[in-house]
Amino acid sequence: MSSHAEILGFDVATLAGKIRAKELSPIEITDAYLERIEALDQKILAYITVTTDDARVAARKAEDEITHGNWRGPFHGVPIALKDLCNTRAVLTTGGSKILGTFVPDFDCTVWARLREAGAILLGKLNLHEFASGATNTNPHWGTCRNPYNLERIPGGSSGGSAAAIVAKMAAATIGTDTGGSIRIPAAFCGCVGMKQTWGRVSRYGVLPLADSLDHTGPITRTVRDAALMLQIIAGHDTHDSTSSDEPVPDYVQALDGSLKGVRVGIIKELLNGVSDEVALAFNAALREMRILGAEVDEVSIPHIEMSSTIATNITFVEAAEYHEQWMRTRPHEYGADVRRMLEAGMMTPAIYYVRAQRSRAAILAEALKALDNFTVLAAPTAAIPAPRIDVGGRALTDRGEQVDMVAAVLRFTAPFNVTGQPALAIPTGVAPNGLPVSMQIIGKPFDEATVFRVADTYERARGSIAEPKL
């Protein structure tokens, strides 16, 4: 019989084996997580809603099914949580906002519908930057989520609750969304894995949009294998989302063959400057590890990649402003100041800049694909710095108390792969001497998540575990 502490230490792949073998019950696993949330979440604020009663009902149902030989797959009986942008029938879905503070959808988003069908148990809905509109996860309506490694630091955003819940062991796996980096930034700052898959790989039906052209919904997990297991369930065409791809979904887990022989890793040289010493040190150590594992590593150029922040900003501001226009006219004071400012800027952005930004995307993607002509995957730091400090005003601060330029610190590393729509996975490279995680991205060809997973998984196994937060 495992203790709750032992149960919380198991990743999804391990839980799946123990559940299937009936060594662990979904009921005891769910109880362990609910107890953990009760004990910790008041100081982390990863959750907006905890669905305690429903989770226990679902756990009993899963236990009953599995006992009678009806095991649905690796997520059957596994407790997960969803970013509170994801519609869940009969469960509050706030978007992290005051405007939707009492909104209860009457349908599930496709991502949750698929996970539910796979037998996953919903622990609750996770905190985020209001309407997914920022990278700090400070939230004036639902409280500011904290970084489990240091409660005075931001978890990153906008999927901060999703990453914090993983690292604080308050969920076995979570779902986030990513428009300019919102899965990868919190994964980087909180020390876990975040997969932004190819645009259109996963349905966005029932997920509140920030910018449709750039939005992705994907896994935030403890390990690469867990991310692969989760993507396996949620990927694939959805008739409710006409932008979802009908590209066949391969077996992501079978592709984890543990070898980097023949793999060529292209380090994007334009993203090597402006990073902190601790990020650079860990990134270089990761590249050395990949060489030891058999990969060839070399620099590659994507000449106009630095334009991506402008492209992503133009598109995000305008598409978000269009979506929010009615509320901005009727309920402007219910927005947080930073979100309102972004939407106001979007209202004033000339259409010509929007169209130009959209046209520019193909040019950046062409350069990235050309780079991948000679490399298997690309690599870059996920962010220039570890997690900044939280400011009472909701900003992110350096250790010297200056406001962090979030474009220079994070967006310039993550936004390019929203612009191009390529798969990009953030994986920890270690914990810096200041006790904060640092991270790198592995980026692949469109719809080649399998190779991204393979490279990241092989590196992760060689890296070994990283120091956990002291909670």
Partner 1 sequence: MARFNAETVKLLGSELFDYEFSDESAASVAHIIGAMASYSRRLHGIGLLGIQPPFGYPALRAEADRIRRILP
**What are the catalytic residues?**
83, 158, 182
Query: Does 175 contact partner 1 by CB under 8 A?
Result: no
Name which of residues 254 to 273 contact partner 1 (CB under 8 A). Answer: none
Query: Does 224 contact partner 1 by CB under 8 A?
Result: no
CB 162 within 8 Å of CB 174: yes
138 phi and psi angles, rounded to 5 deg: -70, 135
CB nearer to partner 1: pick between 14 and 358: 358
Query: Does 239 contact partner 1 by CB under 8 A?
Result: yes
Q: Give the binding-site size for partner 1 (rule: CB under 8 A).
A: 34
Least distance CB 314 / partner 1 (angstroms): 6
DSSP 419-459: HS---EEEEEEEE-TTS-EEEEEEE-STT-HHHHHHHHHHH
Query: Does 107 contact partner 1 by CB under 8 A?
Result: no
Q: How far is CA 185 from CA 27, 154, 210, 375, in A?
A: 33, 10, 16, 25
Query: Does 344 contact partner 1 by CB under 8 A?
Result: yes
CB 226 within 8 Å of CB 219: yes
- From 115, 119, 124, select the one nearest 236 (Cα to Cα): 115
User: How many other CB atoms sit within 10 Å of the CB of residue 331?
Assistant: 13
Query: Does 243 contact partner 1 by CB under 8 A?
Result: yes
The pair of three-digit structure tokens given for residue 321, joined into one six-digit string: 């402003």
Least distance CB 446 / partner 1 (angstroms): 13
CB nearer to partner 1: pick between 349 and 451: 349
Give the contact letters, 361-390, x = binds to partner 1 (CB under 8 A), - = no: xxxx--------------------------
CB nearer to partner 1: pick between 20 and 240: 240
Please report, for the chain, how many H helices and E strands are present, in that order.
Answer: 16, 13
Q: Tell me which stretch binds partner 1 (CB under 8 A): 103-111, 113-121, 189-197, 236-244.
A: 236-244
Least distance CB 348 / partner 1 (angstroms): 5
Give the contact letters, 198-217, x = binds to partner 1 (CB under 8 A), - = no: ---------------x----
- From 82, 208, 81, 93, select the one nearest 142 (Cα to Cα): 93
Rounded to a whole number of angstroms, the CA Rg of the chain reads 20
Q: Exposure of 273 by Cβ count < 10 A (0-12 exposed, 13-18 middle, 19+ buried)?
A: exposed
The pair of three-digit structure tokens given for residue 158, joined into one six-digit string: 């906008």
The pair of three-digit structure tokens given for residue 84, joined into one six-digit string: 């509170």
Q: Tell me which stretch binds partner 1 (CB under 8 A): 97-105, 285-293, 344-352, 446-454.
A: 344-352
- From 206, 205, 207, select the one nearest 182 (Cα to Cα): 207
Q: Which of 256, 328, 396, 415 binds partner 1 (CB under 8 A)?
A: 328
Name which of residues 283 to 312 contact partner 1 (CB under 8 A). Answer: 304, 307, 310-311
State how far Cα 162 lies from the chain centre: 7
Least distance CB 304 / partner 1 (angstroms): 5
Least distance CB 435 / partner 1 (angstroms): 35
Please report, as ranges, the residues that interact with partner 1 according to CB under 8 A. 213, 239-243, 304, 307, 310-311, 313-314, 325, 328-329, 332, 340-341, 344-345, 347-349, 353, 355-364
